[in-house]
Amino acid sequence: MTIIEEHQIAAQDLDKGAFLPYGEVIKARSGMQNQFASNPYDPETSTEEAQLVLCNGQPRLWIMHLHNRGFAFTKLARHKKVSQCLGALQGKEWFIGVAPPQGENEYPSLKDVAVFRVPGDCVIKLHVSTWHAGPHFSDDEALFFNLENMNTNKKDFESVDLATKCVMLT
């Protein structure tokens, strides 16, 4: 595939409202000082909990060791059976390109693609079928935890070539 143009996308700070079309932001919450103490917070009834979809296969939690691949991408990928969670270990800032979920045979256009700056102290959960490219980061290497399904990359991976080099303006 020949790249015919370059499309620059300014990174925006990760904000719960701005990220909502693509997924959810998971931030730290105060824990109990004593694990045996009564805690009035109930995750089963809270509207603040991330809505994970992990029922379409066996969940897999793993740590990715990635090397810097720059701040450009020419493809987006999506998973139609699972909500993927990503977070940096070691508190490193990182970036992700995203486009909202779409129907079975629908693909994103460049106007749909956004870039977010993700602080190293939170996690993102991508909605099922959210298109994404990343993680991208400035360090030589970084560690990320990834929650998806065991067979996500074999049986639930679809990609699209954008025919354009998308450059993240960090």
User: Could you tell me if residue 36 is inside a domain?
Assistant: no
pLDDT single digits (tens) 111-153: 999 999 999 999 999 999 999 999 999 999 999 999 999 999 8
Residue at 130 is within a domain: yes
In a domain, 123, yes or no: yes
Q: Would you say residue 59 lies in a domain?
A: yes
Task: Say how far apart CA 104 and CA 91 lie, in whole Å.
Answer: 36
Residue 1, pLDDT > 60, answer no
Q: What is the per-residue pLDDT across 77-90, written as a single tens digit (0 to 9) for each?
A: 999 999 999 999 99
CATH code at 123?
Answer: 2.60.120.480
Provide the residue range defining the domain that includes 107: 6-28+50-169
Does any domain span residue 43? no
Q: What is the pLDDT of residues 16-34, one digit of tens each?
A: 999 999 999 999 887 766 6
Has residue 101 been placed in a domain? Answer: yes
Please check whether residue 108 lies inside any domain of the structure.
yes
Pick from 75, 96, 86: which is nearest to 14 by CA?
96
**What is the DSSP track for 21-80?**
TTEEEEE--PPPSSTTS-----TTT-TTS------SS-EEEEEEEEE---SEEEEEEE-S
Predicted local confidence at residue 33, as pLDDT = 67
For residue 54, what pLDDT band results from cuts at 50, 70 and 90?
A: confident
The domain total for the chain is 1
- pLDDT of 43: 80
Percent of the chain clearing pLDDT 90 (strictly above): 79
* pTM higher than the cut 0.85: yes
The answer to the question of residue 33 being in a domain is no
